Amino acid sequence: MESASIQSSASERPFAPAVVRLDLSYDGSGFHGWQVQPGLRTVQGELMRCLKKLLPLEGIPPGAGRTDAGVHARGQVASFPLPDPSNFERIQRALPRMVPEDMAVRRVLMVDSDFHARHSACGRVYRYRMMLEQDPLLRRTHYFIPNQLEIEKMKSAAGDLLGDHDYTSFCKASSVVEGKTHCEVRRAEVVSEGPAIVFTIEADRFLHSMVRTIVGTLVEIGRGIRPVDAIPEILHARRRERAGHLAPAHGLCLEAVRYGQERQLGVAALGKDSHADLPGIS
């Protein structure tokens, strides 16, 4: 009922100028990351290639999370301006069938003109998956660790990540921008699922390589290489070399992007299904 009321009220508002929002998922194994790079296959590049067959594309569609090479996504969000709203239905119908098999367009939505996939986001959720037993069927999505880990220590250490902190120590050194290193971590939890371990983290923003460096640090705590109370000292140091190793990219997945209730009300057209179960909408 809520979805129907949103659709009805939104349809009474003028579209132009409008923005199209795309909710995407992809297997990052065959991509050199999200961002377009000359001569390299990227998610953004493939998206642009398909869109250009449907309309004159103005600029490069931004993504909510600029995932690195090998990183996956279930809830990536992109957006682009649509000068002529009459093209919307053709995009909604054709684009999901045009993208390559390691990508999927999960929803195509028309939203208000001030929507921006990256700048409008108020939070992002990442999951990192690990396996303690080698499984060839999961080798592209899980980090195999041939050591037993003390899960309770990892759970305890993850709690020290919560709150607003300076995450310089967990950022790729060459990517540090002074004054822009604080992140508010709202959720950080380690869950054991049989031989699998899943680390979930949600924050208002993330620094370059932040999640993978946190995972590497938690793994070292789980192996007993670092003490369980290591996180606060690492945060305080503000030096990348004080944190743990960089966990491999293939275990990481962008699960969802948060925009808040006001962005739900900005939806001007929906797909056939309700968006209530969509991880990118919250």
Active site residues: 68
DSSP state of 119: T
Helices vs strands, H then E, count in the chain:
7, 9
Distance CA(172)–CA(188), nearest Å, equals 20
- Rounded-to-5 percentages of helix, strand, coil across the chain: 30, 25, 45
Angle at 194 between CA 190 and CA 195, to 5 degrees: 85
The whole-angstrom separation of Cα 278 and Cα 107 is 9
The three-class DSSP label of residue 79 is: strand
106 within 8 A of 274, measured Cβ to Cβ: no
Q: Which two tokens stand for residue 148?
A: 């037993």
Report the distance separating Cα 205 and Cα 183, nearest Å.
Answer: 6
Nearest to 256 by CA among 237, 275, 238, 274: 275
Parallel/antiparallel/unpaired status of strands 252-258 and 182-193: unpaired
CA distance 198 to 200: 6
